[in-house]
């Protein structure tokens, strides 16, 4: 009998990233951290893509009608609301995992924002991963002040739990 769910994070690089192995480990760590802290009780899977500015701009235009470079996009597979699923989730018969969705992170934009905000690229990538996984679980900062506050509290708490704070330099 499995006591703890096993979460799988697939990270694909579609652009050149300095120290890609560290970035991969960071994305995996942050995504799993959110899933564990949200008490996701089943084996979950997330596909993460690290892309360049042009690709994320294209996706943002195609799926959100916003023809601008953004930092991260989330494409949930299921209808969640603030961490609670609204429908039964069926695991993939081959892997036994439930695919939660896709995350697309623009590494160059993350590095630019890290410099703007005065913290490390690792902290920014960790924040964006945490932010995206929360979106995959139905959290949304665009629904209203209460939902925004709930999401921001979780982001801060989850990042602090793994040592990624705004003042990490």
Q: How many CB atoms within 10 Å of residue 82?
A: 16
- 7: annotated binding-site residue? no
Residue 141 assigned ligand-binding role: yes
Q: Is residue 147 a contact partner of residue 138, using CB atoms and an 8 Å limit?
A: no
Domains of the chain as residue ranges with CATH: 8-161 (3.40.390.30)
Tell whether residue 119 is among the known ligand binding residues: no
What pLDDT, on a 0 to 100 scale, did the predictor assign at position 168? 47
Full-model pTM:
0.90
pLDDT at 144: 64
Q: What is the mean pLDDT of each run of 10 residues along the chain (169 residues)?
A: 83 95 97 95 95 98 97 88 65 87 97 93 95 92 76 94 74
Asked whether the beta carbons of 71 and 105 are under 8 A apart, the reply is yes
């Amino acid at each position: 009998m499995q006591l703890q769910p096993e979460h799988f994070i697939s990270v694909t690089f579609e652009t050149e990233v300095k120290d890609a192995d560290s970035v991969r480990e960071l994305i995996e760590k942050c995504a799993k951290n959110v899933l564990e802290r949200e008490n996701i009780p089943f084996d979950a899977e997330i596909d993460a893509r690290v892309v360049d500015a042009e690709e994320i701009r294209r996706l943002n235009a195609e799926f959100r009608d916003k023809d601008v470079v953004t930092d991260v996009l989330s494409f949930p597979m299921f209808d969640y609301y603030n961490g609670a699923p609204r429908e039964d989730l069926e695991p993939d018969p081959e892997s036994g995992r439930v695919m939660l969705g896709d995350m697309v992170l623009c590494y160059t934009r993350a590095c630019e924002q890290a410099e703007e905000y005065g913290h490390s690229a690792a902290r920014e990538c960790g924040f964006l991963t945490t932010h995206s996984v929360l979106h995959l679980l139905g959290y949304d900062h665009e629904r209203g002040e209460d939902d925004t506050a709930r999401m921001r509290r979780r982001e801060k708490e989850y990042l602090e739990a793994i040592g990624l704070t705004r003042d990490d330099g």
